[in-house]
Structure 1
Protein backbone atom coordinates (compact mmCIF):
# COMPACT_ATOMS: atom_id res chain seq x y z
CA UNK A 1 0.00 0.00 0.00
CA UNK A 2 1.43 3.35 -0.93
CA UNK A 3 1.74 6.24 1.51
CA UNK A 4 -1.22 8.22 0.12
CA UNK A 5 -3.59 5.26 0.58
CA UNK A 6 -2.24 4.62 4.07
CA UNK A 7 -2.72 8.29 4.97
CA UNK A 8 -6.28 8.26 3.61
CA UNK A 9 -7.02 5.23 5.76
CA UNK A 10 -5.56 6.90 8.86
CA UNK A 11 -7.66 10.00 8.16
CA UNK A 12 -10.77 7.83 7.93
CA UNK A 13 -9.98 6.05 11.21
CA UNK A 14 -9.24 9.37 12.90
CA UNK A 15 -12.55 10.78 11.64
CA UNK A 16 -14.42 7.74 12.96
CA UNK A 17 -12.66 8.07 16.33
CA UNK A 18 -13.71 11.73 16.51
CA UNK A 19 -17.30 10.76 15.75
CA UNK A 20 -17.24 8.22 18.57
CA UNK A 21 -15.95 10.86 20.99
CA UNK A 22 -18.72 13.25 19.92
CA UNK A 23 -21.40 10.62 20.55
CA UNK A 24 -19.95 9.78 23.97
CA UNK A 25 -19.65 13.48 24.80
CA UNK A 26 -23.25 14.10 23.76
CA UNK A 27 -24.58 11.23 25.86
CA UNK A 28 -22.47 12.39 28.81
CA UNK A 29 -23.69 15.97 28.50
CA UNK A 30 -27.29 14.74 28.52
CA UNK A 31 -26.63 12.52 31.53
CA UNK A 32 -27.25 9.27 29.64
CA UNK A 33 -24.77 7.08 31.50
CA UNK A 34 -26.35 3.80 30.38
CA UNK A 35 -26.21 4.85 26.72
CA UNK A 36 -22.53 5.76 27.16
CA UNK A 37 -21.82 2.28 28.53
CA UNK A 38 -23.79 0.62 25.71
CA UNK A 39 -22.03 2.70 23.06
CA UNK A 40 -18.59 1.95 24.46
CA UNK A 41 -19.48 -1.76 24.62
CA UNK A 42 -20.49 -1.60 20.94
CA UNK A 43 -17.16 0.03 20.02
CA UNK A 44 -15.26 -2.63 21.97
CA UNK A 45 -17.18 -5.39 20.13
CA UNK A 46 -16.30 -3.82 16.79
CA UNK A 47 -12.64 -3.54 17.79
CA UNK A 48 -12.59 -7.19 18.85
CA UNK A 49 -14.01 -8.16 15.45
CA UNK A 50 -11.19 -6.24 13.74
CA UNK A 51 -8.52 -7.87 15.91
CA UNK A 52 -8.15 -10.74 13.44
CA UNK A 53 -6.70 -8.27 10.92
CA UNK A 54 -4.03 -7.03 13.29
CA UNK A 55 -2.92 -10.54 14.22
CA UNK A 56 -2.02 -11.54 10.65
CA UNK A 57 1.65 -12.15 9.92
CA UNK A 58 1.45 -10.05 6.76
CA UNK A 59 1.14 -6.27 7.40
CA UNK A 60 0.39 -5.53 3.74
CA UNK A 61 -2.53 -7.97 3.78
CA UNK A 62 -3.76 -6.55 7.10
CA UNK A 63 -3.81 -3.04 5.67
CA UNK A 64 -5.49 -4.20 2.47
CA UNK A 65 -8.29 -6.02 4.31
CA UNK A 66 -8.79 -3.07 6.66
CA UNK A 67 -9.00 -0.79 3.63
CA UNK A 68 -11.68 -3.03 2.10
CA UNK A 69 -13.60 -2.90 5.41
CA UNK A 70 -13.48 0.91 5.44
CA UNK A 71 -14.59 1.13 1.79
CA UNK A 72 -17.53 -1.14 2.59
CA UNK A 73 -18.56 1.06 5.54
CA UNK A 74 -18.87 3.97 3.13
CA UNK A 75 -21.79 2.22 1.41
CA UNK A 76 -23.42 1.04 4.65
CA UNK A 77 -21.91 -2.44 4.84
CA UNK A 78 -20.17 -3.86 7.92
CA UNK A 79 -17.54 -6.41 6.93
CA UNK A 80 -16.70 -8.86 9.69
CA UNK A 81 -13.69 -11.02 8.99
CA UNK A 82 -14.40 -14.42 10.53
CA UNK A 83 -11.41 -16.39 9.26
CA UNK A 84 -8.31 -15.24 7.40
CA UNK A 85 -6.23 -18.37 6.95
CA UNK A 86 -3.67 -17.63 4.27
CA UNK A 87 0.08 -17.52 4.39
CA UNK A 88 1.83 -17.60 1.05
CA UNK A 89 -0.49 -15.83 -1.36
CA UNK A 90 -1.06 -12.43 0.19
CA UNK A 91 0.28 -10.39 -2.72
CA UNK A 92 -1.72 -12.42 -5.24
CA UNK A 93 -4.83 -12.00 -3.14
CA UNK A 94 -4.31 -8.25 -2.95
CA UNK A 95 -3.91 -8.07 -6.73
CA UNK A 96 -6.95 -10.21 -7.50
CA UNK A 97 -9.45 -9.60 -4.71
CA UNK A 98 -11.74 -6.61 -4.71
CA UNK A 99 -14.19 -7.25 -1.89
CA UNK A 100 -15.53 -3.74 -2.25
CA UNK A 101 -16.52 -4.34 -5.89
CA UNK A 102 -18.17 -7.64 -4.93
CA UNK A 103 -20.09 -5.91 -2.15
CA UNK A 104 -21.21 -3.07 -4.40
CA UNK A 105 -22.53 -5.63 -6.87
CA UNK A 106 -24.61 -7.12 -4.04
CA UNK A 107 -25.97 -3.95 -2.40
CA UNK A 108 -25.63 -1.29 -5.10
CA UNK A 109 -24.06 2.10 -4.53
CA UNK A 110 -25.57 2.51 -1.06
CA UNK A 111 -27.23 -0.05 1.22
CA UNK A 112 -30.78 0.90 2.24
CA UNK A 113 -30.05 -0.22 5.78
CA UNK A 114 -26.90 -1.43 7.49
CA UNK A 115 -25.85 -4.76 6.04
CA UNK A 116 -23.49 -7.18 7.78
CA UNK A 117 -21.36 -9.47 5.64
CA UNK A 118 -19.14 -12.07 7.26
CA UNK A 119 -15.97 -12.82 5.29
CA UNK A 120 -13.83 -15.94 5.51
CA UNK A 121 -10.67 -16.41 3.46
CA UNK A 122 -9.00 -19.82 3.20
CA UNK A 123 -5.83 -20.86 1.42
CA UNK A 124 -6.25 -24.11 -0.50
CA UNK A 125 -3.62 -26.04 -2.44
CA UNK A 126 -3.92 -24.18 -5.73
CA UNK A 127 -6.35 -21.37 -4.93
CA UNK A 128 -7.76 -19.06 -2.29
CA UNK A 129 -11.40 -19.47 -1.32
CA UNK A 130 -13.34 -16.38 -0.25
CA UNK A 131 -16.73 -16.88 1.38
CA UNK A 132 -19.20 -14.03 1.90
CA UNK A 133 -22.02 -14.85 4.31
CA UNK A 134 -25.01 -12.55 4.79
CA UNK A 135 -28.78 -12.56 5.13
CA UNK A 136 -28.69 -10.25 2.12
CA UNK A 137 -27.55 -13.10 -0.13
CA UNK A 138 -30.11 -15.43 -1.67
CA UNK A 139 -28.48 -18.59 -0.30
CA UNK A 140 -27.01 -16.72 2.70
CA UNK A 141 -23.53 -17.15 1.23
CA UNK A 142 -21.48 -16.57 -1.90
CA UNK A 143 -18.07 -18.04 -2.44
CA UNK A 144 -15.49 -17.48 -5.10
CA UNK A 145 -11.97 -18.61 -5.80
CA UNK A 146 -8.74 -16.89 -6.74
CA UNK A 147 -6.33 -19.13 -8.63
CA UNK A 148 -2.74 -19.19 -7.36
CA UNK A 149 -0.06 -18.52 -9.93
Structure 2
Protein backbone atom coordinates (compact mmCIF):
# COMPACT_ATOMS: atom_id res chain seq x y z
CA UNK A 1 0.00 0.00 0.00
CA UNK A 2 1.35 3.42 -0.86
CA UNK A 3 2.24 5.60 2.09
CA UNK A 4 1.87 9.02 0.49
CA UNK A 5 -1.60 9.88 -0.74
CA UNK A 6 -2.54 12.50 -3.28
CA UNK A 7 -4.42 15.74 -2.72
CA UNK A 8 -7.68 14.34 -4.11
CA UNK A 9 -7.49 11.35 -1.77
CA UNK A 10 -6.76 13.66 1.17
CA UNK A 11 -9.80 15.76 0.36
CA UNK A 12 -11.95 12.66 -0.01
CA UNK A 13 -10.84 11.28 3.38
CA UNK A 14 -11.35 14.66 5.03
CA UNK A 15 -14.83 15.07 3.53
CA UNK A 16 -15.75 11.54 4.66
CA UNK A 17 -14.56 12.23 8.23
CA UNK A 18 -16.46 15.51 8.41
CA UNK A 19 -19.64 13.92 7.06
CA UNK A 20 -19.40 11.20 9.73
CA UNK A 21 -18.97 13.80 12.46
CA UNK A 22 -21.84 15.92 11.20
CA UNK A 23 -24.07 12.81 11.08
CA UNK A 24 -23.25 12.08 14.74
CA UNK A 25 -24.09 15.65 15.75
CA UNK A 26 -27.26 15.68 13.63
CA UNK A 27 -28.38 12.29 15.00
CA UNK A 28 -27.92 13.43 18.57
CA UNK A 29 -29.82 16.65 17.92
CA UNK A 30 -32.68 14.71 16.26
CA UNK A 31 -32.85 12.52 19.37
CA UNK A 32 -32.91 15.67 21.52
CA UNK A 33 -29.59 14.65 23.03
CA UNK A 34 -28.22 18.19 22.94
CA UNK A 35 -25.60 17.53 25.64
CA UNK A 36 -24.02 14.68 23.63
CA UNK A 37 -24.04 16.87 20.49
CA UNK A 38 -22.18 19.55 22.48
CA UNK A 39 -19.67 16.95 23.69
CA UNK A 40 -18.99 15.80 20.11
CA UNK A 41 -18.49 19.42 19.02
CA UNK A 42 -16.07 19.99 21.93
CA UNK A 43 -14.14 16.81 21.02
CA UNK A 44 -13.82 18.11 17.45
CA UNK A 45 -12.59 21.51 18.67
CA UNK A 46 -9.93 19.86 20.88
CA UNK A 47 -8.81 17.61 18.02
CA UNK A 48 -8.58 20.56 15.61
CA UNK A 49 -6.49 22.52 18.13
CA UNK A 50 -4.13 19.56 18.45
CA UNK A 51 -3.83 19.28 14.68
CA UNK A 52 -3.06 23.01 14.49
CA UNK A 53 -0.38 22.70 17.20
CA UNK A 54 1.19 19.74 15.39
CA UNK A 55 1.21 21.66 12.12
CA UNK A 56 2.78 24.67 13.87
CA UNK A 57 5.73 22.59 15.16
CA UNK A 58 7.49 23.23 11.84
CA UNK A 59 8.00 19.57 10.90
CA UNK A 60 5.78 19.21 7.81
CA UNK A 61 6.69 15.67 6.77
CA UNK A 62 6.08 14.31 10.28
CA UNK A 63 2.87 16.33 10.61
CA UNK A 64 1.45 15.12 7.30
CA UNK A 65 2.27 11.52 8.16
CA UNK A 66 0.66 11.71 11.62
CA UNK A 67 -2.41 13.54 10.34
CA UNK A 68 -3.05 10.94 7.62
CA UNK A 69 -1.73 7.71 9.15
CA UNK A 70 -5.12 6.42 10.28
CA UNK A 71 -6.45 6.86 6.73
CA UNK A 72 -3.86 4.51 5.17
CA UNK A 73 -2.85 2.24 8.04
CA UNK A 74 -2.01 -1.37 7.30
CA UNK A 75 -2.53 -2.93 10.73
CA UNK A 76 -5.13 -2.79 13.49
CA UNK A 77 -3.31 0.13 15.04
CA UNK A 78 -4.85 3.54 15.72
CA UNK A 79 -2.30 6.34 16.12
CA UNK A 80 -3.21 9.40 18.17
CA UNK A 81 -1.14 12.36 19.27
CA UNK A 82 -1.11 15.27 21.65
CA UNK A 83 1.15 18.32 21.57
CA UNK A 84 1.63 19.74 25.07
CA UNK A 85 3.63 22.86 24.26
CA UNK A 86 3.59 25.62 21.71
CA UNK A 87 6.75 26.24 19.80
CA UNK A 88 8.60 25.47 16.64
CA UNK A 89 11.26 22.89 15.95
CA UNK A 90 14.15 23.44 13.56
CA UNK A 91 13.14 22.16 10.11
CA UNK A 92 16.30 20.02 10.12
CA UNK A 93 14.64 17.81 12.76
CA UNK A 94 11.77 16.87 10.44
CA UNK A 95 13.48 13.95 8.65
CA UNK A 96 14.91 12.61 11.92
CA UNK A 97 11.65 12.68 13.84
CA UNK A 98 9.68 11.32 10.89
CA UNK A 99 12.12 8.48 10.28
CA UNK A 100 12.34 7.45 13.93
CA UNK A 101 8.62 7.69 14.79
CA UNK A 102 7.67 5.94 11.55
CA UNK A 103 10.17 3.23 12.53
CA UNK A 104 8.35 2.86 15.86
CA UNK A 105 5.02 2.45 14.09
CA UNK A 106 6.45 0.05 11.48
CA UNK A 107 7.89 -2.21 14.19
CA UNK A 108 4.69 -2.03 16.23
CA UNK A 109 2.58 -2.88 13.16
CA UNK A 110 4.62 -6.09 12.84
CA UNK A 111 4.10 -6.90 16.52
CA UNK A 112 0.36 -6.23 17.04
CA UNK A 113 -2.28 -8.91 16.77
CA UNK A 114 -5.33 -8.60 14.54
CA UNK A 115 -8.82 -8.70 16.00
CA UNK A 116 -7.93 -6.35 18.85
CA UNK A 117 -8.11 -2.57 19.15
CA UNK A 118 -4.53 -1.38 19.45
CA UNK A 119 -3.86 2.28 20.26
CA UNK A 120 -0.60 4.16 20.12
CA UNK A 121 -0.26 7.68 21.54
CA UNK A 122 2.53 10.13 20.85
CA UNK A 123 2.64 12.89 23.48
CA UNK A 124 5.04 15.59 22.29
CA UNK A 125 6.61 18.57 24.01
CA UNK A 126 9.46 20.98 23.46
CA UNK A 127 11.66 21.37 26.52
CA UNK A 128 13.52 24.66 26.03
CA UNK A 129 15.39 24.35 29.36
CA UNK A 130 16.93 21.01 28.38
CA UNK A 131 17.12 21.93 24.68
CA UNK A 132 15.20 18.76 23.89
CA UNK A 133 12.09 17.47 22.17
CA UNK A 134 10.35 14.71 24.12
CA UNK A 135 7.95 12.18 22.67
CA UNK A 136 6.24 9.95 25.20
CA UNK A 137 5.04 6.81 23.45
CA UNK A 138 2.17 4.92 25.04
CA UNK A 139 0.72 1.69 23.65
CA UNK A 140 -2.33 -0.19 24.86
CA UNK A 141 -4.00 -3.08 23.11
CA UNK A 142 -3.59 -6.72 22.36
CA UNK A 143 -0.66 -8.88 23.29
CA UNK A 144 2.48 -7.95 21.36
CA UNK A 145 4.40 -10.64 19.50
CA UNK A 146 7.70 -9.16 20.68
CA UNK A 147 8.73 -6.91 23.56
CA UNK A 148 9.14 -3.25 22.56
CA UNK A 149 12.33 -3.19 24.64
CA UNK A 150 13.80 -5.59 22.05
CA UNK A 151 12.87 -3.71 18.90
CA UNK A 152 12.70 -0.07 20.01
CA UNK A 153 16.46 0.20 20.44
CA UNK A 154 16.98 -1.31 16.97
CA UNK A 155 15.02 1.24 14.98
CA UNK A 156 17.09 2.07 11.97
CA UNK A 157 17.59 5.84 12.05
CA UNK A 158 20.87 7.03 10.60
CA UNK A 159 20.46 10.53 11.91
CA UNK A 160 20.07 10.14 15.68
CA UNK A 161 19.43 7.78 18.54
CA UNK A 162 17.16 9.32 21.19
CA UNK A 163 17.61 8.76 24.89
CA UNK A 164 14.91 6.36 26.13
CA UNK A 165 13.29 6.45 29.57
CA UNK A 166 11.01 3.49 30.25
CA UNK A 167 7.92 3.95 32.44
CA UNK A 168 6.64 0.41 32.11
CA UNK A 169 6.24 -2.49 29.73
CA UNK A 170 4.00 -5.56 29.64
CA UNK A 171 2.85 -7.77 26.80
CA UNK A 172 -0.24 -5.56 26.25
CA UNK A 173 1.00 -2.05 27.05
CA UNK A 174 4.10 0.07 27.37
CA UNK A 175 5.16 3.64 27.98
CA UNK A 176 8.53 5.14 27.10
CA UNK A 177 9.85 8.67 26.63
CA UNK A 178 12.19 9.34 23.72
CA UNK A 179 14.24 12.52 24.10
CA UNK A 180 15.83 14.16 21.08
CA UNK A 181 18.40 16.92 21.36
CA UNK A 182 17.16 20.05 19.63
CA UNK A 183 19.15 20.80 16.50
CA UNK A 184 20.51 24.32 16.32
CA UNK A 185 18.25 26.65 14.34
CA UNK A 186 19.80 27.59 11.00
CA UNK A 187 19.58 31.18 9.94
Same fold (TM over 0.5): yes
How many angstroms apart in 2 are the aligned matches of 1:89 and 1:63? 15
Partner of 2:58, secondary structure, is coil
Deviation at 1:104, TM superposition (A): 1.8
Deviation at 1:73, TM superposition (A): 10
Partner of 1:134, secondary structure, is strand
145 and 72 in structure 1: CA distance in 2 versus 1, 3 angstrom threshold: farther
Q: Is the CA contact (8 Å cut-off) linking 1:82 and 1:120 kept in structure 2? A: yes
Corresponding residue number in structure 2 for 1:108: 113
- Which of 88, 95, 99 is the aligned partner of 1:91? 95
Correspondence 1:141 to 2:175 = yes
Partner of 2:122, secondary structure, is strand
Deviation at 1:81, TM superposition (A): 3.5
1:25-36 aligned within 5 A: 25-36=26-37
How many angstroms apart in 2 are the aligned matches of 1:17 and 1:132? 28
Q: Which has the higher helix share?
A: 1
How many angstroms apart in 2 are the aligned matches of 1:93 and 1:62? 10
Q: For structure 1, which runs of at least 5 residues remain unmatched after alignment?
A: 123-127
Q: Is the CA contact (8 Å cut-off) linking 1:76 and 1:113 kept in structure 2? A: yes
11 and 75 in structure 1: CA distance in 2 versus 1, 3 angstrom threshold: farther
Deviation at 1:36, TM superposition (A): 0.7
Corresponding residue number in structure 1 for 2:137: 132
Give RMSD over aligned pairs.
Answer: 3.9
Instruction: Give the number of aligned pairs.
Output: 142
Question: Which protein shows a greater Rg?
Answer: 2
60 and 76 in structure 1: CA distance in 2 versus 1, 3 angstrom threshold: closer
TM-score, with normalisation over the residues of structure 1?
0.65
Corresponding residue number in structure 1 for 2:154: none
Correspondence 1:54 to 2:55 = yes
Q: Is the CA contact (8 Å cut-off) linking 1:83 and 1:119 kept in structure 2? A: yes
Farther-moved stretch of structure 1 (39-48 vs 83-92)? 83-92
Corresponding residue number in structure 2 for 1:18: 19
How many angstroms apart in 2 are the aligned matches of 1:143 and 1:42? 26
